[in-house]
Structure 1
Amino acid sequence: MDKNEPDLNKVYQKIQDLLKNKGQVVSVLEEQVDVEMQMEYFKFSKNQGKDFDKEHILNEKGLLFSEDTTVDRKKELLVSLAKIDDPEAYRAIEDYKNNADEELKSWSVLAFQESKMVLETSLLGSAPIFISTGLGGQGSNLRYFVVLVAAEDKPFEKWQCDLVEKEVGYLFESEEGEIESMEFDNDKVLIKVLLPISTNIKDFFSKGIKECNEFGNFLTESFLVTNVKELSIEEVDELIQDFRLNKENGGEADDSYVEDIDDVI
């Protein structure tokens, strides 16, 4: 499909390279936070730096809970508190996160994650690997949104739905992951899953497609996977339509289609 999209195998290899040090702690952002919000936070945090009076910031933590404090000021406080390797700062962010202003819920989640990493670094003597994606994760698993596509532009038959459901279920028997949801919609299967960081997503689902296609080649070898966001039916339909038109016009299809895989931060 789109040749400009990131190579899934390269992303997988990048993660494996980072995980080679078995003693390295891996920290996964569990909550689903918009990627643009994440980039805004990390840029803000980087620009703010660490040159500030820590005691002064700790003394001002109560401003987070004041209705008179502006959103911008709360943003600054959260970012500053997140850089302080003191449980007092961590607890202040945690307390605020649990009852955050609507417009700062995601911001407080990111500040809490950064604060947690700062404390872990202080205690362990080395910084953990932080993996941040739009769809988040759970424990050492990352969340993915996957779409399998029918080879023909028509709804799946019941036996095909049953087979896909069974084969995908078999895949997860060998992985410490979880199928959170699976929905059949005409010529596509929308799946939301949690899979270990070490899983090669491309090989994992390609294997499932191959198993299904032993009974009639009713799935395309190409599939869509993203960990940025859960796409709407309309967005998925548009991508599939473009894919089918490209094939009709003689275009080549990749083995898999990666809508987007976040960088490891």
Structure 2
Amino acid sequence: MKIIKTMFWNKNKEETKEIMQELSDSFSAVKSETEITPKVQSEYIAYHDKIDVDAYSEQYIIAESEKLSKEHEPESEKKRIIFILGHIGTLPCVKIIEEFLKKAEGGLKQWAILAFEEGWMFLENEEMGINKGRVFSGAGGEGEKMRYYFSIRSKNKGSFNDEQIKIIQDKINEVGSEFDLKIESIEFKDDIFLVSALIPMDVAVGSVIEKTVKACNAENKILSSHYFVTNEKKPGWKEVGDNTPE
């Protein structure tokens, strides 16, 4: 039997705004010191297909959230609870995630950050009438797509020539069309290029990059098979150079 979620928050609008501002400030401090790895983000996105959130009520998941403070509770169970809290997205649920984040560590902390962001989106829609769509990363996103930056080096360690640049640009756009990406920019510097792309949440960024490399190397091997990718913020060229393997 499906249980419909209910909201039992009875604060007035002004009190709600004040509490939301406090939550936002607290979360910003936590988020600024935590990097979400692609692995955790991909797992979180895939989790949407594994659980029917509509089968749970707000009262149920708030009661279940007591397990989050239990040291020996399985991590998988804590992830389930945090995910549902984020998807129900009422103020009490988001506050529980915020409290959990104060002590969380490692992968669970990253998971809770993603759940908080998703819950915050629902909360803004409900309380403030703001519809921003889903954004799960520091680099942001647009609708159902997330922004990634990825870089690849020349296989020959030399600067790209005009012909190679055209091949790379053409193949990136071809792969982008195949995966329904929005290619925002392609920048070249010496033996490295950096791409900014909005990638659908159900598309693995690794698949996009590997297909790009394969397409560019179809006739002449011009690209290394190794790459650097991030979805936190646009990296500077020094960071790109330091992290893009040969």
TM-score (norm 2): 0.52
Match of 2:47 among 2, 17, 21: 17
With CA pairs under 8 Å and 6+ residues apart, which has the higher RCO, 1 or 2?
A: 1
Q: CA deviation at 1:117?
A: 1.7
The separation in 2 between residues aligned to 1:118 and 1:6, in whole angstroms, is: 22
Q: CA deviation at 1:186?
A: 1.0
Q: Alpha carbon RMSD of aligned pairs, Å?
A: 3.5
Structure 1 SS opposite 2:160 = coil
Match of 1:118 among 120, 123, 144: 123
Please list every run of 5 or more consecutive structure 1 residues that lacks an aligned counterpart in the other structure: 25-81, 86-110, 123-128, 245-265
Structure 2 SS opposite 1:161 = helix
Match of 1:167 among 139, 151, 171: 171
Is residue 117–residue 135 contact of structure 2 (8 Å, CA) maintained in 1?
no
TM-score (norm 1): 0.48
Matches within 5 A, 1:1-265: 8=38, 11-20=41-50, 83=91, 116-118=121-123, 131-240=135-244, 243-244=245-246
Please list every run of 5 or more consecutive structure 2 residues that lacks an aligned counterpart in the other structure: 1-34, 55-89, 94-115, 128-132
Q: 1:234 to 1:207 in 2, by over 3 A?
A: same
Is residue 9–residue 200 contact of structure 1 (8 Å, CA) maintained in 2?
no
The separation in 1 between residues aligned to 2:43 and 2:214, in whole angstroms, is: 23
1:143-162 CA-partner distances (Å, limit 9, x unpaired)? 00111211122101111110
Aligned residues: 150
Q: Residue type matched to 1:179 in 2?
A: I
- Choose between structure 1 and 2: higher helix proportion: 2
Q: Percent same amino acid at aligned positions? A: 21
Is residue 153–residue 191 contact of structure 2 (8 Å, CA) maintained in 1?
yes
Q: 1:186 to 1:115 in 2, by over 3 A?
A: closer
Q: Residue type matched to 2:46 in 1?
A: Q
Q: 1:238 to 1:134 in 2, by over 3 A?
A: same
The separation in 1 between residues aligned to 2:221 and 2:117, in whole angstroms, is: 47
